[in-house]
Structure 1
Amino acid sequence: MKKIKIFASLLSAILLMSASVQTSSAAETKNAYTIEANGTTLTQQMVVDEGRDSLSVPIAPIVKATGDSIKWNNNTQTAIIRQKDAVIEISANKTTIKLNGKSVPLVTKTMNNVIVPSGEKSSIIDGKLYVPLEAAKTVFGYDIKLIGAETKKLDLSYPVPSEWVLSQMKSSATGDYQTNRKILEDELGFQRGIWYNPYGQDAYEGLGKVRVGLAEGAIANIDFLAWYGDKNQEHVSNTIPYVSRELFRFYLPKEYDKLFKVMNDGYSGKDISKYINKSFTLDGRKITITENERSVTVKISKK
């Protein structure tokens, strides 16, 4: 019997169109990475994932590896970093630093075309001063690459841009749609908690590829406008399957991988006809996959 290649032709069409001192909390996870700072390699450094699309790195070994100096004042919980053209003062649990005597935010974001502080802080974890990875790169000016633990998460055959970092869901879905929207916005970077945009949370919304909406009897009605960009080279849209797997984990914490396999198989041209327009159950929820003219919809029922 000839196999039915669900999604394959659809995908082709779409692509053409388109501190007080603190210790680690339960919301934080730590992984050992090799950190490359300005070309110098530091092995087995702990990087903290704080669960809101934010990684923090230990700043002292990075500063020393680049040849800059750092001194710690335990009384004020402040580090003074001296670079060739700058002096940086950074205190624990603060959202700002002093750069050559001027107060600047550690990390910024764009809201309504205005650059504003993001609110991310420095912190002391296991006795070491940590700063957001984004701040270490942009404000401190260090060229930093993480090699190691994060690559284990990027285990699919979709090459993503080297600077992209996968966010992992820390929460499970609630029964309230608006609460779930806020979680998806905070933890997976969804625009307004509705759209996943491979080009970033602040990019033009029309470039969004995964939309989470509502339908009668559903906790989520998810429309996929694409699944990947180019399997042969790095592409921002290749982030979609990784994010989708985390999205399925949000709604189906025990059996998300089964739904992910069905979807990934379908977009890879494999026969998944037995799942199309036929409800099946995962984690106590009914799942229905529907093909549309320009998208694929996954409906996940309420329990």
Structure 2
Amino acid sequence: MIILAATPIGNLGDASRRLIEALESATVVAAEDTRTTQRLLAALGVANRPRLLALHDHNEKDRAPEIVELARESDVLVLSDAGMPTVSDPGYGLVAAAAAAGVTVTAIPGPSAVLTALAVSGLPTDRFTFEGFTPRKQGERLSAFRTLANEQRTMVFFEAPSRVAATLADMAAVFGDERAAAVCRELTKLHEEVVRGPLAELATWASGGVRGELVIVVGGAAAQEVAFPDAVTQVLEQVRAGTRLKDAAAEVSAHTGHSSRELYQSALARRANPDGS
């Protein structure tokens, strides 16, 4: 089988007993960076030296079939540099290929930067969305944020230290200066820090420079920030994109707080009379 194994995101003490046992018995390990895996083995005192295969964003498509075939004969342990494979890390393509080939996939759960940041952010945790790394270019970043402007769920982003100030400023411009957020830095490490506040204040704080691994958590939009006519327009846009009217109304209702039934009826009326006459 293929075993997806979560590795520490900072503190080596978070390595589970199951992870260590799997490393001690593994014959084949597919690793995002084989050098990082070698350092992990040494740091955890694991004497076993399994066969290491590189599995990263640039070779996953080509390497997945080989690893799937290996997994038919013996277990293959899959590791990313930190956290759970497939979550903003290599592994999704491999899992999809294994599922298609009928090869069993399981996981050794463990540390997750996404869930850790969400838990300590002080923002709602009942519903959330993970958006991964933000786009590098400002235009693409702003466009991505505009599509999320009315998202009511808490949003979790990864960001590089060199771009965090610009990203927070762009978030403030789109989501609003006062939108609540948290920047989580160096989670589980010695210099762990969680800075909470409105986006505008966080952008000012980050302008002086920020170091370390970062996760940004942003509160969702208030339910009634979207005017009803605009919500109806959103429903019709989804319908034009191929979504059933009933499903589109339900989706927009979930994000705006407007009645699904009223959105459905208004969208029907606007479709029947698009010029408003």
TM over 0.5: no
The structure richer in strand per residue is 1
TM-score, structure 2 length as denominator?
0.31
